[in-house]
């Protein structure tokens, strides 16, 4: 559904414009409504899901036993931090200040289409991710089977 990298500007009110390449898709598939939540694995990043995709993720995460601390942490970050955001008439989304502050997303950010969701990275965190290389010790058996 979503793929590609787009440099994004977040305005002083905390709004970002959905890239024009995605506006029709977001309007058609999501009714201009997305769910923004924290990336539980990496700092400096928010996840933006279409509502239907979000509901499936939410249900899977909530089904995890709360007795395990790692499950509870994921539930707090993903479900507890989830907020519905709706595009205005100009295709802009208002990101909650709490989410922007927690992830360091300021004026310059990067939006990545990751298939079923978007990832919104602070520019600094994205550059740090890009500069990381995958070492031999990080390659899994599943990665060896990829024909890249």
Q: How many residues are there in the chain?
A: 148
- The CA-based dihedral angle spanning residues 9, 14, 18, 20, taken in that order and rounded to the nearest 10 degrees: -50
Rounded CA gap, 71 and 67, in Å? 8
Whether 145 contacts 72, CB under 8 Å: no
Residue 4 has pLDDT above 80, yes or no: yes
C-alpha 37/C-alpha 40 separation (Å) is 9
Indicate the class that CATH gives domain 2-144: alpha beta
The structure tokens listed for 34 are: 């997305």
Residues 77-94: tens digit of each pLDDT: 999 999 999 999 999 999
Q: Which two tokens stand for residue 50?
A: 């279409």
Provide the residue ranges of all domains of the chain, joining segments of one domain with +: 2-144
* Each residue's pLDDT tens digit, 83-134: 999 999 999 999 999 999 999 999 999 999 999 999 999 999 999 988 887 7
Identify the bridge partners of residue 36 per DSSP, sorted by sequence position.
48, 83
Rounded CA gap, 84 and 45, in Å? 17
């Amino acid at each position: 559904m979503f793929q590609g990298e787009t440099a994004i500007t977040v305005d002083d009110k905390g709004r970002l414009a959905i890239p024009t390449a995605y506006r029709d898709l977001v309007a058609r598939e999501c009714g201009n409504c997305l769910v923004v939540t924290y990336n539980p694995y990496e700092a400096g990043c928010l996840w933006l899901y279409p509502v239907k995709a979000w509901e499936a993720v939410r249900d899977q995460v909530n089904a995890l036993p709360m007795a395990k601390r790692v499950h509870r942490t994921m539930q707090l970050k993903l479900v507890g931090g989830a907020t519905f955001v709706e595009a205005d008439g100009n295709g802009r989304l208002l990101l909650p200040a709490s989410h922007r502050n927690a992830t360091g997303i300021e004026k310059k950010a990067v939006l990545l289409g990751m298939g079923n969701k978007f990832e919104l990275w602070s520019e600094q965190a994205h550059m740090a991710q890009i500069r990381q290389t995958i070492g031999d010790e990080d390659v899994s058996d599943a990665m060896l089977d990829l024909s890249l």
